[in-house]
A and B are shown apart, each in its own frame.
Chain A
């Protein structure tokens, strides 16, 4: 039981480049959530996905950000044309979908835009 796996742990991108963050949920979990954490702040919800479906993307910026959770493979959070303000820690969590259960978080990807 490897838990929620995120990679890379650290990612440095120049302004204008693309960032791809990956998340493999826990075994048996079909629900994936992405959160962003700015320095000294709490986590902010971005998007909630199930396999091949986006359930709630209300927290994701309309431009440059996209997320997917394909039938096979990890969930991907993609940020195009990154800007310095995108620098943050991005966390993925997974769950079974049952509302009475806590979520399991990955260790996060720390994105630095230079």
Chain B
């Protein structure tokens, strides 16, 4: 199985509600990043959290990292229809020959209904 697995695979909510997506990984990491992808488009970097950080905020986004459980969560508060997209977590491993290589999860498809 692969590093960086998100759940749920799909999430459908109403505008104004909060959306929470989870990500689990398997190896020691340098940092974990969240990306957003609109259908048929490229990825947009949302937020990066380092392995020595536990929580980070950016606007309506809140990311937590629990290295003991090898898991992270992305919370989008007060969701909007424009937040509809796929969300991916990606890990950068700590050291070794995998320097520079991001490992992506399968993604969570978020649908926000107006």
Binding site for B on A (CB under 8 A): 31, 33, 35, 41-45, 48, 55-56, 58-59, 91, 93, 95, 97, 99-108, 110
Contacts and interface: CB of A to CB of B under 8 A. Distances in A.
Interface in B6-22: none
Given A102-B45, A103-B45, A106-B42, A42 B105 contact: yes
B98 A42 contact: no
Nearest to B101: A45
A105 B31 contact: no
Contacts, number: 69
Interface residues of B, number: 28
Interface in B25-49: 30-31, 33, 35, 40-45, 48
A92 to B, nearest CB: 9
Interface of B: 2, 4, 30-31, 33, 35, 40-45, 48, 50, 88, 90, 92, 97-107
A97 B100 contact: yes
Given A42-B4, A55-B100, A99 B42 contact: no
Nearest to A55: B100
